[in-house]
Amino acid sequence: MIGAGGCAILAGPASAMAAVERAFQPEPADALNGATRLSDASLGASHRKRFGVPTGRGLAGRLHQDHTKLTPDGLVTPNELFYIRTRAPSRLDHSRPWVLRLGGLVERPSEVLASDLAARARPMGVHLLECAGNGAPFGLLSAAEWSGVPVSEILEHVQPSRRDARVLVSGFDKHTGKNLDQAGASWIFTREQLADAFFATHMNGQPLPRDHGEPVRLFVPGWYGCACIKWANEVRFVGGDEPSTPHMREFASRTHQRGVPRLARNFRPASIDLTGMPIRVERWRKGGSLIHRVVGLSWGGDRPLESLSIQLGERAGYQPIESLERKTKNTWTLWSHMWQPKGAGSYDIRLRCDDRQVRTRRLDSGFYKRTVEIEDV
């Protein structure tokens, strides 16, 4: 049974702006009361790509989500705007029933029909997905409400013959075209790493779209997209000495591994650390003065409540972000911060977490630094 679909309504620019005004309490109090919104300042790199439309085919197929107009009401991405990394393989065959084979080091191999999974699917909540290769302009990042079946339930169909067996999940990846016939995407997990994972059959109340893994994909909450295998067709128990897969090796550095581990067991979890970035710098006019407000996203990490600080220009110190409230670690949240730039020029915007106990590997590397051009103050 599929729960209430929760399909996000796509807001046009005008209503999106109204939503921003409604949903953010201006900070400091009343700063934006009676102010008029002007055009946003430019955050450079975001202008280079085409957003919101699928481009390319197969392995080279992409769709970048545009985050510049995100509002608190729009934090579930509609299916047609959800980012794509790898479009459906041209050799996908949906004329026969899709099966998930269960085998490897098991007493008796088995299989599950995707249609049975779909029939048993239930709401798994809103979860964000980010491609580990989400570089500028950072459009490979989206969130949806997923439905599916916990992986642990599927694993109960088979008896592994070894206690230390790991679980390899792989998908169908036969693309046609030059240099595109590569080994399928697959990732190897311990059973504990899959404790919260599920086989997703629905996205925002709809059956999985073709480019997002129709009819079934793996979803591992909190991990980078590369582990969330689309067009899943095999679950195989493997031994402790199983080599890492070509797909894991391809993503080794982007998932913060030390070197490229030859064995799957030497891979660290491909989890997303706490992070964040600005998505727009708003300009408002109030009386004779110009007001700037930086709006951004925060996501990742293994705990919901964290604090982040922001640095606006290399010479400024870090200060706590004024309005940041993360109620869940599963998906992103919007924050905002009022800003009075000293003068025209370009400013690097960086975030950091002042709690040194919290791991922020990618944020600390400067990966999400954005540069804003301020023309007038």
Gap between the Cα atoms of 58 and 75, Å rounded: 27
The single residue listed with the structure tokens 């989206």 is 142
DSSP 142-201: EEEEEEEEEHHHHHTTS-BSSTT-EEEEEE-----STT---PPPEEEE-TGGGTT-EEEE
Q: Measured from the CB of residue 3, what is the shortest distance to Mo ion in angstroms?
A: 27
Residue 246 or 345: which CB sits closer to ligand MTE?
Answer: 246
Q: Write out the H or E segment, with its range, that includes residue 348.
A: strand 345-352
229 touching ligand MTE, by CB under 6 A: yes
At 230, the amino acid letter reads K
Which residue number places its CB atom closest to Mo ion?
131
Q: Which residues contact 334 (CB under 8 A, 6 or more apart)?
A: 24, 70, 71, 72, 75, 295, 296, 297
Residues pairing with 223 in the sheet = 271
Candidates 230, 236, 326, 362; binder of ligand MTE (CB under 6 A) is: 230
Residue 148 binds which of ligand MTE, Mo ion, none (CB < 5-8 A, kind-dependent): none
Q: Measured from the CB of residue 58, what is the shortest distance to ligand MTE in angstroms?
A: 9
Interface mask toward ligand MTE for 196-225; x: CB under 6 A: ----------------x------------x
Candidates 8, 64, 83, 274; binder of ligand MTE (CB under 6 A) is: 83
At 28, the amino acid letter reads P
Show the CA angle centred on residue 299, arms to residues 294 and 304, nearest 5°. Answer: 115
Residue 20 or 117: which CB sits closer to ligand MTE?
Answer: 117
234 touching ligand MTE, by CB under 6 A: no
DSSP 8-state class, residue 25: P
Residue 6 or 133: which CB sits closer to Mo ion?
Answer: 133
44 contacts 370 by C-beta, under 8 angstroms: yes
The greatest distance separating any two alpha carbons of the chain, rounded to the nearest whole angstrom, comes to 77
Interface mask toward ligand MTE for 153-172; x: CB under 6 A: ------------------x-
Residue 229 or 349: which CB sits closer to Mo ion?
Answer: 229
84 touching ligand MTE, by CB under 6 A: yes
**Segment interacting with ligand MTE, rule: CB under 6 A, options 229-237, 259-267, 282-290, 324-332:** 229-237
Candidates 67, 85, 127, 337; binder of Mo ion (CB under 5 A) is: 85
160 contacts 237 by C-beta, under 8 angstroms: yes
Residue 300 binds which of Mo ion, ligand MTE, none (CB < 5-8 A, kind-dependent): none
Residue 296 binds which of ligand MTE, Mo ion, none (CB < 5-8 A, kind-dependent): none
Gap between the Cα atoms of 233 and 231, Å rounded: 6
Chain contacts with ligand MTE (rule: CB under 6 A): 82-86, 129, 131, 171, 173, 185, 212, 225-226, 228-231
Chain contacts with Mo ion (rule: CB under 5 A): 85, 131, 225-226
